[in-house]
Amino acid sequence: MKAAITGTGMSDIGRNTGRPAILHLADAADRALARAGLTLADIDGICTYPGKADNSPGMSPLGTGEVRNALGLQTRWHAAVPDGPAQMAPIMAAAMAVMTGQARHVLCFRALTESSSQSAGRRASIPGAGRAEIGGWLSWLVPVGAMSASNWAGWMATRYFHEFGMTREHLGLVALAERQFAQMNPAAVMQKPLTMDDYLAARMISTPLGLFDCDIPIDGAAVVIVSAGDAAKDCRLPPLRIEALGSALRSQETWDQRADLTTMGAHDAAADLWARTAFKPADVDVLGLYDGFSIFVPLWLEALGFCGHGEAKDFIAEGNIAHGGRFPVNTGGGQMSGGRLHGFGLLHETCLQLWGHAGARQVADAKTALCAMGGGFIAGAMLINRD
């Protein structure tokens, strides 16, 4: 019996909230448990990405230890997953934990205080900043001036534009679609309208990516409860069955050496996901696609087979991913208008859609959702479905 998602919750995310991360986390946990019809006493597992880390300001203020202590959890299984498919890794690990009997209900979480931390320290989201030396894959980027993920995503976008004739306007349509959704979601941080003129006039960050091609640092937390297949029957809402997972990676862990930089690890993970299920892209009602930068959305669409290689610009221009489109993407406003919860916000939103809890932006009778997280060599994809 497959693992299932039985509850999700998000704190009141915002910019410069000044609230301790653990209060955001506790709010998100309360809301997820209420949705699931569970209590803290039912939680016997906990998992997160990446664990407590200070490599970038406010990037991960809480590990499993802080959360176990604050919530008074007694667990049979706990882990943090810093490697692997990043944001998706704790969900995947939890699914495997419940299927091997390590736990019945696993609280998976992601908490960030990047907004407060960056404002307080006047520091941008730069890995390794302030350190004298840097190791690992970052050592091939930061010392040569590629300090920001916007630079790394910029390389992919430049090459993609060159090969396939995509323009800034195509990426602008992604940003505009997300802003339109955000205006239908009271929880999203950006509520003002965004026009193509606004998008094109915004300052450049790293060509061809401008300000509105980037996601927004926030303070907040999200919790996703992954339960054993049989345990899910006892919960309040229809369990969202984890139909298939994919996290294959067939290139090395770098941002610049992959032979074709118009593809990502996403392409390997997506192929593996579809190899594990009878479902097809046409069965999908709603999507959550990682949008740390706008260019990741077309790359994920192609990776997942919603259109062919090089065709995403037309697929987007035809309105497929926007409100009312055939394959609505990031209906909560995504990370570019909703705020960066590192994929957990996107997963929360796709679950709300499958439970019919998405308010004004509800996709009618949504039963099957695809959620994909990561960019560059980091990629994990998940297909969830309800009866």
Partner 1 sequence: MRPLPELTAENTAFWTGGARGQLMIAFCDHCQNAIHPPQVICPACQSRHVGPRAVEGSGTIYTYTVNHQPWMPGMVVPFAIAVVDVDGARGVRVTAPVTGCEADAVKIGQRVRIAFEPSGEVWLPLWMPLERTAA
| Closer by beta carbon to partner 1, 53 or else 129 | 129
Stretch that binds partner 1, among 139-147, 176-184, 275-283, 328-336 (CB under 8 A): 139-147
H or E stretch covering 13:
none
* Binds partner 1 by CB under 8 A, chosen from 72, 74, 132, 364: 132
Cα dihedral value 35, 37, 40, 44, nearest 10: -100
> Closest separation between CB of residue 308 and partner 1, Å?
21
| Total residues binding partner 1 (CB under 8 A) | 43
CA angle 18, 19, 23 (to 5 degrees): 170
| Closer by beta carbon to partner 1, 100 or else 139 | 139
* Binds partner 1 by CB under 8 A, chosen from 196, 201, 204, 275: 204
Give SS3 for 175: helix
> Closest separation between CB of residue 214 and partner 1, Å?
9
CA angle 319, 203, 335 (to 5 degrees): 50
| Closer by beta carbon to partner 1, 155 or else 274 | 155
Give SS3 for 223: strand
* Binds partner 1 by CB under 8 A, chosen from 30, 198, 234, 256: 256
Tell me how far apart the alpha carbons of residues 81 and 222 are, in angstroms, rounded to a whole number: 16
Contact 3, 94 (CB under 8 A): yes
| Closer by beta carbon to partner 1, 145 or else 324 | 145
| Closer by beta carbon to partner 1, 144 or else 317 | 144
Q: Quote the radius of gyration of the chain (alpha carbons, Å).
A: 19
| 324 class by beta-carbon count within 10 Å (0-12 exposed, 13-18 middle, 19+ buried) | exposed
> Closest separation between CB of residue 213 and partner 1, Å?
12
Contact 220, 19 (CB under 8 A): no
200 binds partner 1 (CB under 8 A): no
> Closest separation between CB of residue 134 and partner 1, Å?
4
* Binds partner 1 by CB under 8 A, chosen from 26, 124, 202, 271: 124
> Closest separation between CB of residue 126 and partner 1, Å?
5
311 binds partner 1 (CB under 8 A): no
250 binds partner 1 (CB under 8 A): no
> Closest separation between CB of residue 258 and partner 1, Å?
9
Contact 246, 19 (CB under 8 A): no
Tell me the longest C-alpha to C-alpha distance in the chain: 55
Stretch that binds partner 1, among 15-23, 126-134, 288-296, 374-382 (CB under 8 A): 126-134
321 binds partner 1 (CB under 8 A): no
131 binds partner 1 (CB under 8 A): yes
Tell me how far apart the alpha carbons of residues 247 and 378 are, in angstroms, rounded to a whole number: 9
> Closest separation between CB of residue 351 and partner 1, Å?
34
Token pair for 108: 């998976």
Between helices 296-303 and 265-274, what is the axis angle to 10°? Answer: 30
143 binds partner 1 (CB under 8 A): yes
Tell me how far apart the alpha carbons of residues 208 and 50 are, in angstroms, rounded to a whole number: 29
Strand partners, 47: 79, 108
Give SS3 for 163: helix
| Closer by beta carbon to partner 1, 56 or else 183 | 56
* Binds partner 1 by CB under 8 A, chosen from 39, 69, 100, 139: 139
> Closest separation between CB of residue 211 and partner 1, Å?
9
Tell me how far apart the alpha carbons of residues 113 and 123 are, in angstroms, rounded to a whole number: 13
| Closer by beta carbon to partner 1, 157 or else 358 | 157
186 binds partner 1 (CB under 8 A): no
59 binds partner 1 (CB under 8 A): no
Q: Which amino acid is at 86?
A: A
- Per CB under 8 A, residues contacting partner 1 are 123-124, 126, 128-129, 131-135, 137, 139-148, 150-151, 154-159, 162, 203-209, 252, 254, 256-257, 259, 261
